[in-house]
Amino acid sequence: MRDNSFINQMEPWFGTEEKKAINEYMEEDGWLTEFKHTKRFEQRIAEYTGAKHCVVVNNGTISLTLMAIAAGIKAGDEVIVPNYTMIATPNSVKMFGAIPVFVDVEPETLCMDVSLIENAITSKTKAIMYVNANGRNSKSGIQKFVDLAKKHDLILLEDAAQSLGSRFPDGRHQGTVGLAGSFSFSAPKIISTGQGGAIITNSDEMANKLRRLKDFGRSGGGNDIHDTIGFNFKFTELQAVIGNEQMKKLSERVERKKEIYSLYKEELSHLKQVTFFEQDLTCTTPWFIDILVEDRERLQQQLKEQGIGTREMYPPINKQMAYQVNGQHKVSELVGEKGLWLPSAAQLTNNQVLRICREISLFFKG
């Protein structure tokens, strides 16, 4: 990114290392299908997160679907999800006929509000899909979700798509507390393989089921014997070769994302029209710079004219045409009205961040 070029809200970051690795791979092996590099990528994610197993798949929506199916969720079962999340969270279970049930989120963190879950539980509820919004931790603590799931005999799954590099306050990586956790490597994520997803779990049984389900339900490596229905949700070596190079850069990016967030906060917190959420940088890594802002549309337009890209945060899911479910969810509705993502790529320079903040201050101060 050059300092004076258009600043996209987000862009992936690949360098010469990825190009070199792809070229080397193409010289060495032309199969492209999942093999040693994929295994190495899975090991790297397992090591980084401290999970016993990691299974990679073709994207971070399918990883949610696969994790839910492997956990035993079936058509007709209800799954509690936050009303503020990427639409992939509910869609991933809708895909096989399960029913997402929406619960509002905490105003400080945008993670699901645990105090609202009990009211949403019915005899059909099978699972809670917790989303670590922007890598943040719920203010009430993950243990409350674990206890609630236990009390009602529900499965706890984590959609940690935005959370690689974020931990719970006790040091466990996000995605490792529930039965399984899911990540995405789509273009805007902290590391990307273009498309890609991963499921981590400490359960041997889950890992075996996941591996079987993603490979047509094959009972053994490469054979055509199928005891169960399965799918083709496999990865490719090309993605893994890139993913392995990206993983080498993850720790640096984690630090840089925190620096960028701190600089934005330093420069913008004095504006009464801008509100930041509560992000604890000691253990979590902001994926995007998310704020609530007054006069969002005009600000976006003005920034665009100055060569700065932004993106509106997710609208409340129950109000999306695709769902249209009755219910009042004040926090997700507020985010739908005022939530804005500022440029958030790890490759942003300090000068670019300062330029963005200057433009925002000018907009509000006139």
Ligand X SMILES: Cc1ncc(COP(=O)(O)O)c(C=O)c1O
Binding mask 150-169 for ligand X (x = CB under 6 A): ---------x-xx-------
Helices (H) and strands (E) in the chain, counts: 12, 11
The answer to whether residue 65 forms part of the interface with ligand X (CB under 6 A) is no
Q: How far is the CB of 253 from ligand X (least distance, A)?
A: 17
User: Is 155 in contact with 180 (CB distance < 8 Å)?
Assistant: no
Structure-block tokens of residue 200: 């981590």
The answer to whether residue 197 forms part of the interface with ligand X (CB under 6 A) is yes
Q: How far is the CB of 352 from ligand X (least distance, A)?
A: 23
* 216 Rama class: left (phi>0) / alpha (psi -120 to 50) / beta: left
The answer to whether residue 284 forms part of the interface with ligand X (CB under 6 A) is no
Task: Tell me the residue nearest to ligand X as measured from the CB.
Answer: 60
- Tokens 């970051």 correspond to what residue? 13
The answer to whether residue 190 forms part of the interface with ligand X (CB under 6 A) is no
Q: Interacting stretch for ligand X, rule CB under 6 A, among 81-89, 230-238, 271-279, 298-306? A: 81-89
Cβ-proximal residues to 339 (8 Å cutoff; 6+ apart), any chain: 290, 291, 292, 296, 312, 313, 314
Structure-block tokens of residue 235: 């990865």
Exactly one of 86, 114, 156, 292 binds ligand X (CB under 6 A); that residue is: 86
Cβ nearer to ligand X, comparing 133 with 148: 133
| 3-62 positions binding ligand X, by CB under 6 A | 59-61
Nearest-5° Cα angle at 192, 191 to 197? 105
Determine the Cα–Cα distance for residues 71 and 220; give it in Å rounded to an integer: 20
The answer to whether residue 85 forms part of the interface with ligand X (CB under 6 A) is yes
Cβ nearer to ligand X, comparing 131 with 356: 131
Residue 50: what residue type?
G
Determine which helix (DSSP H) or strand (DSSP E) holds 355, and give its type and residue range: helix 350-365
Structure-block tokens of residue 325: 């479910």
Q: How far is the CB of 88 from ligand X (least distance, A)?
A: 4
Q: How far is the CB of 134 from ligand X (least distance, A)?
A: 9
Q: How far is the CB of 284 from ligand X (least distance, A)?
A: 15
Cβ nearer to ligand X, comparing 346 with 357: 346
Cβ neighbours around 273 below 10 Å, total? 17
Q: How far is the CB of 120 from ligand X (least distance, A)?
A: 19
Q: How far is the CB of 91 from ligand X (least distance, A)?
A: 9
The answer to whether residue 89 forms part of the interface with ligand X (CB under 6 A) is yes
Count Cβ neighbours within 10 Å for each residue of 44-78 and write b for 16 or more, e otherwise. bbbebbebebbbbbbbbbbbbbbbbbbbebeeebb
The answer to whether residue 290 forms part of the interface with ligand X (CB under 6 A) is no
The phi, psi pair for 226, rounded to 5°, reads -125, 110
279 alpha-carbon distance from chain centroid: 16
The answer to whether residue 100 forms part of the interface with ligand X (CB under 6 A) is no
Determine the Cα–Cα distance for residues 193 and 275; give it in Å rounded to an integer: 33
Exactly one of 117, 131, 199, 200 binds ligand X (CB under 6 A); that residue is: 131
Partner residues linked to 102 by β-bridges = 81
Binding mask 299-328 for ligand X (x = CB under 6 A): ------------------------------
The answer to whether residue 184 forms part of the interface with ligand X (CB under 6 A) is yes
Cβ nearer to ligand X, comparing 9 with 360: 9
Residue 17: what residue type?
E
Determine the Cα–Cα distance for residues 77 and 85; give it in Å rounded to an integer: 20
Per CB under 6 A, residues contacting ligand X are 59-61, 85-86, 88-89, 131, 159, 161-162, 184, 186, 197
